[in-house]
Structure 1
Amino acid sequence: MSAAALGAILLPCTAFADLPAIAQRQRGEKKTFTDNEITEGFLKIAFGAEYHLAGRVDRIRKYDGPVRVFADGSRADRKTQLAKIVADIAARVQHLDIAMAGSSEDANVQVKLVRDRDLHRTIATFYGSERAREIRSSLDPQCLSGFRKNEKFEIEHSDVILTVDNGDFVFFDCAYEELLQSLGPINDTASVPWTMFNDNVSMGYFDVYDQYLLNLLYDPRIKPGMTVQEVKALLPDVLTDVRAWVRKVNNLP
C-alpha cells in the first residue's frame, strides 16, 4: 500500500489471478452498475438469511469493531492462501479492520479447515446432528458459515467451515464467499446475477459488485440494528463515497 503515500491505491485484481478459472471469470466481469442495481442487491443480501436458525433477520448485522481471523487445520498451504484472502478483503473494504489472529483466543472469526469427507461430521459438531441433517438437505454445502449476534445486532463471533481437498478454485470460491458472509451479508439470492451471494454464481475472487456491497455495509453510517427504511434513507450519500473508493482500489474509469 506504499502507493497510498502518492495519493493512489493500486491493487492487483485478485490474490489468485494466475488461476485459469479465476482469470477467465475476471475477463468477463461486469464492472459498471447503476445505483439501483447496487442498492437492490445490497438490500437483498444485507437483510434476511439463506438458512435461518434463530433471531430476527430484518435488521443490519455487522461487526462493530476489529475482526480477527484464525485458521484451524493441518494444511499450511491453505492457511497461507486464507491469509492472502483476508488481506485482500482488508485492502478492498475501506472501513473494515480485518486481519489474521495469532491464536484462536484472539480471534472472533474461527475458520475450520477440513477434508471433504469430514465436512458433514464437522457441521454436526457445530450445530448438532439434527440441525446438520437439515443443513445438508436444504443447502448441500461444500462450505458453510454462520455468526452469533447480540441484542444490538452486532456480530460477536463467526464460524466458517472450508474444505481443503476439492481443488484450488473451490477453496478460493468458498473462502471468499463464506468469510464475507460471516461479516454480515448472510442472505443468498438468485435474483442478482453479479454477486457471489447467489448459489448459481462462482467467482473465486472478490469481484467489484460485491466490493460495493461490503463497503456499503461497513460504512460507519450504516449501523447494526438499522431497518430497511433507515438504511434506504442513507444509501444515496453512502453510495457516493463507496463509488469513489471502489473506483480507486480497482482503477476503474
Structure 2
Amino acid sequence: MKQSAFQFFIQPKIRKRMADCFLLALLMICISLPLDNAAQAQNLDEWQSPTYILKAFNEIALKNEYRSTAQRILKWQQPIYYRFQYHDLPQNTMVENLFSIHLKHLAEITKHNIQPSGKHKANLLIHITRDRHYNQVIRQFTSSNVSNIARESHCMGSFKTHSDAISEAQIVLPVDHLFSKGLLVSCIVEETTQVMGLPNDSDWVNPSIANDVSKIELLTGLDYLFLTILYDRQIKAGMSRKRSQPIIKAIITQLQQQGIIDNAQHLVNKGGLNAYLE
C-alpha cells in the first residue's frame, strides 16, 4: 500500500502579532485578533458562491504548497485519538484546554470521532516544546524534509497517509516562542485544521485560516464549508479530482438549498474558540 507524508507550517514573515487582545474566559489567555473585520467581510458574496467554494476547496484540499500531488482526497477514516507529549516542559493545562476546545469544534463540524487517546493508541501527537528544542523535535518525530523549517516557521504539522487515508499526524508547537509572538491560538487552529486533510495554503482563498497573508486566526464560514464538504460521507479518501468534482458540486448545491452557505459564518461562530469572542 502506498504511504505518503505531508507537512505544513506558519511562516514568521507572514503571521504578525495583533494589537488588540481579549481575555478568553476560563482559559486566561490573550488571543491576537484582527484589527477589524475587513478580511472576513471582503468579497463576501464571492466566497459564498458555489463556483468560488468549489475552486477554493480544490485549492486547499487537493494541493500542497511544498510538493506536487496526485490531487486526491485526503481525510481520516479511522477515529482520531490525540495525546500531548511534552519535551523538557511541565504539563500546561491551558494549552491542552485550547486544543481540546478546537478539536471538539472540528468533531462537531465534521461529525468525525475525535477524542483523547485514553486507552487507545494515539494517532495524533501534539508536541509541546521550547523554541530551542523545536528543530530537534521536528527532526525526531516528523517526516518533514523542508530545509531550515525551524527557522522558517512558527509551528508545524504533518501527517502520513495509507492508501490516501490519513493514518497519523504530528503537531509541533514551540510554546515560549508562540506566547512571545501572540500566535498560540493561530497555530493551534491552523495546524490542527490542516491535519484533517486540508494541507494547502493559498493567498487568494479568503476568508480562511489557509490564507497566510490574512490576519484571520479562527475558523471562518469558508473553513466551515471546507470541513463539511471534506467529511461528507459521499466523499471518500483517495477519490481523484475527476471523480470527486460532480459529488462536491452536488454537496455544495445541497448546502446552498439548506441555507448553510448563507449562515456558515454564524454556524462556525457558535462553537469552539470562536464562541469565546461573541
Q: Which residue of structure 1 lines up, in the alignment, with residue 9 of structure 2?
A: none
Whether 1:21 and 2:35 are equivalent positions in the alignment is no
Deviation at 1:75, TM superposition (A): 1.8
CA distance in structure 1 between the partners assigned to 2:202 and 2:70 by the alignment: 15
Q: Which residue of structure 2 lines up, in the alignment, with residue 77 of structure 1?
A: 94
Q: Which residue of structure 1 lines up, in the alignment, with residue 128 of structure 2?
A: 113
Whether 1:145 and 2:157 are equivalent positions in the alignment is yes
Of 46, 57, 70, 1:42 maps to 57
CA distance 1:136–1:116, shift in 2 (3 Å): closer
User: Tell me, what secondary structure is at the counterpart of 1:159?
Assistant: strand
The structure with the greater share of residues assigned to strand is 2
Of 190, 196, 217, 1:204 maps to 217
Identity of matched residues, %:
21
Which runs of 4 or more aligned residues in structure 1 lie more than 6 Å from their structure 2 counterparts after TM superposition? none
TM-score, normalised on structure 2? 0.72
CA distance in structure 1 between the partners assigned to 2:133 and 2:219 by the alignment: 27
Deviation at 1:142, TM superposition (A): 0.8
CA distance 1:16–1:154, shift in 2 (3 Å): farther
Q: Which residue of structure 2 lines up, in the alignment, with residue 122 of structure 1?
A: 137
CA distance in structure 2 between the partners assigned to 1:27 and 1:192 by the alignment: 15
Gaps of 5+ in 1: 1-14
Deviation at 1:102, TM superposition (A): 2.5
CA distance in structure 2 between the partners assigned to 1:157 and 1:99 by the alignment: 14
Q: C-alpha offsets along residues 96-132 of structure 1, whole Å, 9 cap, x if unaligned?
A: 22223226x532111111122221221121347x935
TM-score, normalised on structure 1? 0.78
Q: Which residue of structure 1 lines up, in the alignment, with residue 149 of structure 2?
A: 135
Gaps of 5+ in 2: 1-22, 269-278
Q: Which residue of structure 2 lines up, in the alignment, with residue 95 of structure 1?
A: 111
CA distance in structure 1 between the partners assigned to 2:37 and 2:24 by the alignment: 11
User: Tell me, what secondary structure is at the counterpart of 1:106?
Assistant: coil
Which of 240-249 and 37-46 deviates more?
240-249
Task: Determine if contact 1:86/1:100 at 8 Å carries over to the other structure.
Answer: no
User: Tell me, what secondary structure is at the counterpart of 1:147?
Assistant: strand
CA distance 1:127–1:186, shift in 2 (3 Å): same
**What is the total number of aligned residue pairs between the two structures?**
230
Q: Which residue of structure 1 lines up, in the alignment, with residue 250 of structure 2?
A: 237
CA distance in structure 2 between the partners assigned to 1:248 and 1:195 by the alignment: 12
Deviation at 1:150, TM superposition (A): 1.0
Deviation at 1:27, TM superposition (A): 7.7
User: Tell me, what secondary structure is at the counterpart of 2:83?
Assistant: strand
Q: Which residue of structure 2 lines up, in the alignment, with residue 5 of structure 1?
A: none
CA distance in structure 2 between the partners assigned to 1:19 and 1:37 by the alignment: 34
The structure with the greater share of residues assigned to helix is 1
Task: Determine if contact 1:173/1:202 at 8 Å carries over to the other structure.
Answer: no
Deviation at 1:45, TM superposition (A): 0.7
CA distance in structure 2 between the partners assigned to 1:141 and 1:207 by the alignment: 23
Of 239, 247, 256, 1:226 maps to 239
CA distance in structure 1 between the partners assigned to 2:31 and 2:236 by the alignment: 39
Q: Which residue of structure 2 lines up, in the alignment, with residue 158 of structure 1?
A: 169
